[in-house]
Structure 1
Amino acid sequence: MRREAAEEWRRLDEVRREARKGVKSGEVAEVSAVAREMLREEEEVVEEERQREKEEEKEKREFIVHVPLPDEKEIERRVLEKKKMELLNKYVSEGLMEEQTEAKDMLNIQR
């Protein structure tokens, strides 16, 4: 790919040099059909390279998801709730836990 681009550049550079030799200062230069076609091909190649670079940039971008984070009060509430549950599991009997769960269900408390 790089070698092809270098060869293309050299070929176009040679065409430019020949064009400069043929034009004297003050004269209007005419571009031959071959030179126009070569310039058009060069533009197409450059445009294709730009397009490929844009596609590669799109692929390189990271996918970032923005999610809401809990505030300090919410974090504190969850930590406290977890500690309460650990202490309840440690010191309370199974029967009392079942009664507490039933009472919460009856009162429709979701904790």
Structure 2
Amino acid sequence: MKFKFDHNNINVLDLEKSIKFYKEALGLEEVRRHHSSDGSFTLAFLKSSEGEHQIELTWLKDRKEPYNLGDNEIHMAVRTDDYEAAHKKHKEMGCICYENEQMGLYFIADPDGYWTEILAFKASEIK
């Protein structure tokens, strides 16, 4: 029996704002969208050109208050082939929320407060 990650889901208050953020910050593109038959929710699936894994953004029509993210210890992580350029871009966007220079990583926060860890590719991963 084999398993392969397909997607992760997060709920968002403003779907278009979140899609724009993930496109600008991480280069993710929307690959499909699903609208519920009763209009109560919309799902948008985003992915990188560099892999198959997707992020599913869920927008709930009746949700008006921000989501409680608790201590926000749960996060996604991505690797980049140009760590310095990514850091500069994210600094200009004002979305860096935590840095650990010793470990060579930093985190960005999306419009809803979800964190994404940014890491450099390992030398063996660069093609």
Rg larger in structure: 1
Higher strand share: 2
Higher helix share: 1
TM value normalised by structure 2:
0.18
